[in-house]
Amino acid sequence: MPHPPRKSLIDPDELFASRDIRLQDRRESQYPQLMHLCVDFNFSVLQLQRKIFSHLTRKMVPGALEFVLAIHDDETNYWYSMSPSLASLKMLNDYAKHYEVDILHMHLFGDEDDDYNQFTQDGFY
Residue-by-residue pLDDT tens, the chain, 125 positions: 678 889 999 999 999 899 999 877 666 678 999 999 998 999 999 999 999 998 988 898 999 999 999 999 999 999 999 999 999 999 999 999 999 999 999 988 886 655 444 444 554 44
How do strand 78-81 and strand 44-54 relate by DSSP bridges?
A: unpaired
Report yes or no on 1 lying in a domain.
no
Does residue 85 belong to any structural domain of this protein?
Answer: yes
Asked if the structure places residue 78 within a domain, the reply is: yes
User: How many domains in the chain?
Assistant: 1
Q: Is residue 47 part of a domain?
A: yes
The residue segments making up the domain with residue 59 are 8-122
**What are the respective helix, strand and coil percentages of the chain, to the nearest 5?**
35, 30, 35
Confirm whether 59 is domain-assigned.
yes
Asked whether 29 and 42 are in contact (CB, 8 A), the reply is no
Strands (E), 1-125: 8-9, 15-21, 44-54, 59-73, 78-81
pTM score, whole prediction: 0.81
Q: Does residue 2 form part of some domain? A: no
What is the C-alpha separation between 21 and 89, in angstroms, rounded?
10
- Neighbouring CB atoms inside 10 A of 73's CB total 10
Cα 57 to Cα 17, 52, 60, 61, 103: the distances in Å are 20, 11, 8, 9, 39
